[in-house]
């Protein structure tokens, strides 16, 4: 029998139970079962431990002169590939190792088990492996020898030595094993139980097959063959449940009519079920052990002697195998709250009960940490993005319409009071001043001539024109002085760059430069609206700039703007603060992070404040009553 077929049920059972196939193979080795399936599990484990196995097979010769019988193999071509090696091993009477004909770096290794009586070779296990050299085959042969002890023990047991043709029908046993696979392929407990009882009824030609599960101390019928739905008040259902309870109460397999050598047990409910519902024979097999499904399988057949001893043994094996599978489906079909409660109960038992030292230590550590964070206090601070600005800012504008003649400084340069920032073109004003200066000279000469001629009226007019010329010259001189744009105080040019606009026209009132003082700064913080209620004037804080991450600058809150600002999908309030000390390295426009110190509160309150506020607001928004 090939390994995939022999272990198909094991793999399915392992996948449904959340175990690896290798774990299921170990269970098969410990629990026994059919010889072919046992040998398949044994061969799979050996192949896994050896590694690099391409073909594997195991077989035996039942007696001297009898034909060789294959018990399990890894692939359809495994027997043909290993047949020459097995024949040579039988002839030599010992394990062999050598190169294989399949290709380079492939070697065949075999191990033989002699019988306990004659010493003749009866059983051979052979593998074909991929190795770099023949020197590595010693470990392969050693592994086969170690595993051969299990195989020898299994084959020497009376059950394995039973000749074929005696005992239960092998074909029937294989069909019942297919029932297990059918149960594993279901998608729910109801589907698995219904498929099981229907298939059992079909295979055994039973009138009815039923499955009952213990619930609240009583057996309750959950599946009945060939009937997807049945009423709870039916006489048949009550009779079947009573018969199942009778078997479960006595913890024994009950059969009516009993065989002559059966133990004397109470069969009253079984007799009533057979009498009232026309069954020739009734069989009930209790199911379940500690931790698995608790219930019973019931069989009703029209013939009186339908359940002989061998068939009952096979059905007991099936009941034992399907019980954990049905238990798995039953647990999967429970409500989520029941699963959570059960998982919590299991974890609680592990914590309170013996063992599981690691869980207990971890739980104690978590409890200690929770107590510490609940009791311990820390500084509650509110963090916000911040920017540094000058305490004041002076704007330098164009004094009149003109053109840029020169610009030596630009944004980022430090300036001193009176230092020239830029100069406007003064040629037109100079020409205008020269014109009025010449005009003044002419008027003064005319005034002298009028005085000499004693023309008093004309002299008065000329003197008025002289005053006008002098006023115009004074105005022009003032405008000429204003063509030189200077810094109003010591500071830093925050904005303005005319170096790329020489000769460009400017209009009166245009902003040419913005200058901020270097000695006095203010901090602007953008505090989230959810935390602004904790901020008041007079609180202290610290600021760290991106350009100076290792230095904290203390400040004091001086103003909280009462108007929110919406930007980038969030609302925040502007909070102003004054630095206690200003550093020479500070510059207006620097950005960083500021933290305002509120007070001292518990660490658990500080770390969960944001979540609690969000949860409170969310619950309130959905709560239909109250304010």
d(CA 109, CA 593): 72
Helix axes 21-31, 8-16, angle to 10 degrees: 120
Say yes or no: 418 and 530 in one domain. no
d(CA 154, CA 123): 12
Dihedral angle over CA of 477, 478, 479, 481, nearest 10: 90
pLDDT at 26: 67
pLDDT at 174: 61
pLDDT at 211: 92
Average pLDDT of span 502-510: 81
Q: Could you give phi then psi for residue 296, rounded to 5 degrees?
A: -160, 150
Average pLDDT of span 83-91: 84
DSSP 581: S
| Confidence class for position 6, pLDDT limits 50, 70, 90 | very low
pLDDT at 228: 64
What tens digit of pLDDT does each residue of 43-64 get?
888 888 788 888 888 888 766 6
The residue written with tokens 């002169």 in the block is 65
d(CA 229, CA 194): 10
Residue 112 predicted with pLDDT over 80: yes
The domain total for the chain is 5
What tens digit of pLDDT does each residue of 448-473 get?
888 888 888 888 888 888 888 888 88
What CATH number is attached to the domain comprising 504? Answer: 2.40.50.100
Q: Which two tokens stand for residue 19?
A: 């175990």
Higher pLDDT, 105 or 380: 380
Q: What is the percent of the chain with per-residue pLDDT over 70, rounded to a whole number? A: 85
Say yes or no: 470 and 414 in one domain. yes
Residue 7 predicted with pLDDT over 70: no
| Beta strand spans in 94-176 (E) | 97-99, 106-114, 121-130
Pick the most confident of 110-119, 404-413, 460-469.
460-469
Say yes or no: 10 and 124 in one domain. yes
Say yes or no: 204 and 329 in one domain. yes
Say yes or no: 96 and 37 in one domain. yes
The residue written with tokens 């607001």 in the block is 617
Inside any domain, residue 381: no
| Confidence class for position 231, pLDDT limits 50, 70, 90 | low
Average pLDDT of span 271-296: 84
The domain boundary residue, chosen from 515, 546, 581: 515
pLDDT at 119: 45
Residue 298 predicted with pLDDT over 90: yes
Inside any domain, residue 608: yes
Inside any domain, residue 135: yes
Average pLDDT of span 504-526: 81
The residue written with tokens 């000390």 in the block is 581
| Confidence class for position 209, pLDDT limits 50, 70, 90 | very high
What CATH number is attached to the domain comprising 526? Answer: 2.40.30.170
Say yes or no: 325 and 231 in one domain. yes
Higher pLDDT, 14 or 351: 351
pLDDT at 15: 43
The domain boundary residue, chosen from 490, 515, 540: 515
Q: Is 259 left (phi over 0), alpha (psi -120 to 50) or beta?
A: beta
Flag the least confident range among 148-152, 186-190, 365-369, 482-486.
Answer: 148-152
Inside any domain, residue 627: no
The residue written with tokens 């959570």 in the block is 340
Residue 500 predicted with pLDDT over 70: yes
Pick the most confident of 142-146, 206-210, 358-362, 565-569.
206-210
Q: What is the mean pLDDT of the chain?
A: 80
Say yes or no: 474 and 366 in one domain. no
Residue 230 predicted with pLDDT over 80: no
Inside any domain, residue 385: no
Inside any domain, residue 143: yes
Higher pLDDT, 271 or 354: 271
Higher pLDDT, 91 or 559: 559
Residue 167 predicted with pLDDT over 60: no
Average pLDDT of span 528-538: 88
Say yes or no: 86 and 200 in one domain. no
Task: Please answer whether residues 83 and 54 qualify as being in contact, where contact means their C-beta atoms are separated by less than 8 angstroms.
Answer: no
Average pLDDT of span 350-374: 85
Average pLDDT of span 213-227: 87
What tens digit of pLDDT does each residue of 305-317 get?
888 888 888 888 7
Inside any domain, residue 449: yes
Residue 267 predicted with pLDDT over 80: yes
Full domain range(s) for residue 356: 339-375
pLDDT at 518: 72
pLDDT at 568: 78
The domain boundary residue, chosen from 469, 490, 515: 515
Nearest in space to 103 (alpha carbons), one of 139, 57, 47, 55: 55
Cα Rg, the chain, nearest whole Å: 51
Average pLDDT of span 116-135: 73
What tens digit of pLDDT does each residue of 517-532 get?
776 778 889 898 888 8
DSSP 204: H
Inside any domain, residue 389: no
Say yes or no: 489 and 589 in one domain. no
Say yes or no: 189 and 327 in one domain. yes
SS3 state at 597: strand
Residue 176 predicted with pLDDT over 70: no
Say yes or no: 579 and 617 in one domain. yes
Say yes or no: 318 and 280 in one domain. yes
What CATH number is attached to the domain comprising 8? Answer: 3.30.450.40
Higher pLDDT, 437 or 155: 437
């Amino acid at each position: 029998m090939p390994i995939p077929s022999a272990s198909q049920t094991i793999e399915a059972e392992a996948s449904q139970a959340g175990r690896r196939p290798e774990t299921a193979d170990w269970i098969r080795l410990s629990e026994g079962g059919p010889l072919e399936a046992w040998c398949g599990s044994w061969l799979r484990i050996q192949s896994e431990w050896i590694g690099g196995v391409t073909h594997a097979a195991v077989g035996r010769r039942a007696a001297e002169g009898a034909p060789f019988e294959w018990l399990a193999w890894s692939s359809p071509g495994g027997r043909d590939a290993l047949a020459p090696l097995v024949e040579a091993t039988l002839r030599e009477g010992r394990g062999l190792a050598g190169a294989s004909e399949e290709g380079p770096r492939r070697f065949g290794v075999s191990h033989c088990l002699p019988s306990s009586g004659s010493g003749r070779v009866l059983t051979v296990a052979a593998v074909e492996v991929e190795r770099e050299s023949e020197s590595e085959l010693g470990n392969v042969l050693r592994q086969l020898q170690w595993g051969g002890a299990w195989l020898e023990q299994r084959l020497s047991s009376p059950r394995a030595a039973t000749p074929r043709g005696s005992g239960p029908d092998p074909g029937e046993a294989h069909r019942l094993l297919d029932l297990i696979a059918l149960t594993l392929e279901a998608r729910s407990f109801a589907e698995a139980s219904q498929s099981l009882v229907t298939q059992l009824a079909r295979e055994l030609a039973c009138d009815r097959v039923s499955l009952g599960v213990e619930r609240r101390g009583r057996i309750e019928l959950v599946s009945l063959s060939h009937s997807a739905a049945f009423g709870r008040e039916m006489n048949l259902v009550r009779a079947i449940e009573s018969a199942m309870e009778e078997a479960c109460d006595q913890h024994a397999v009950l059969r009516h009519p009993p065989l002559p050598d059966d133990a004397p047990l109470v069969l009253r409910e079984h007799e009533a079920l057979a009498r009232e519902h026309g069954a020739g024979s009734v069989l009930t097999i209790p199911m379940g052990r500690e931790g698995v499904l608790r219930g019973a399988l019931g069989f009703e057949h029209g013939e009186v002697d339908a359940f002989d001893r061998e068939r009952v043994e096979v059905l007991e094996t099936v009941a034992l195998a399907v019980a954990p599978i049905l238990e798995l489906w039953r647990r999967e079909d429970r409500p989520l709250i029941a699963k959570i409660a059960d998982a919590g109960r299991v974890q609680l038992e592990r914590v309170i009960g013996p063992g599981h030292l690691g869980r207990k230590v971890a739980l104690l550590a978590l409890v200690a940490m929770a107590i510490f964070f609940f009791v311990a206090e820390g500084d509650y601070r509110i963090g916000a993005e911040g920017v540094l600005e000058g305490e004041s800012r002076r704007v330098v504008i164009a004094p009149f319409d003109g053109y840029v003649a020169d610009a030596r400084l630009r944004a980022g340069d430090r300036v001193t009071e009176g230092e020239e920032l830029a100069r406007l073109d003064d040629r037109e004003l100079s020409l205008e001043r020269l014109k009025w200066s010449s005009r003044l000279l002419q008027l003064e000469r005319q005034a002298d001539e009028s005085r000499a001629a004693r023309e008093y009226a004309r002299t008065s007019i000329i003197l008025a024109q002289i005053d006008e010329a002098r006023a115009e010259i004074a105005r022009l001189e003032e405008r000429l002085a204003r063509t030189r744009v200077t810094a109003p105080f010591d500071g830093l040019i925050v904005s303005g760059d005319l170096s790329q606009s020489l000769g460009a026209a400017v209009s009166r009132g245009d902003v040419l430069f913005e200058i901020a003082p270097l000695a006095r700064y203010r901090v602007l913080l953008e505090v989230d609206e959810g935390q602004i209620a904790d901020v008041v004037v007079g609180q202290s804080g610290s600021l760290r700039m991106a350009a100076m991450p290792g230095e904290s600058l203390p400040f004091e809150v001086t103003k909280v703007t009462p108007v929110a600002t919406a930007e980038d999908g969030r609302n925040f309030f502007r909070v102003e603060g004054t630095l206690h000390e200003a550093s020479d390295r500070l510059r207006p426009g620097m950005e960083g992070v500021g933290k305002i110190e509120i007070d001292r509160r518990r660490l658990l309150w500080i770390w969960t404040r944001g979540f609690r506020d969000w949860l409170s607001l969310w619950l309130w928004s959905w709560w239909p009553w109250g304010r």
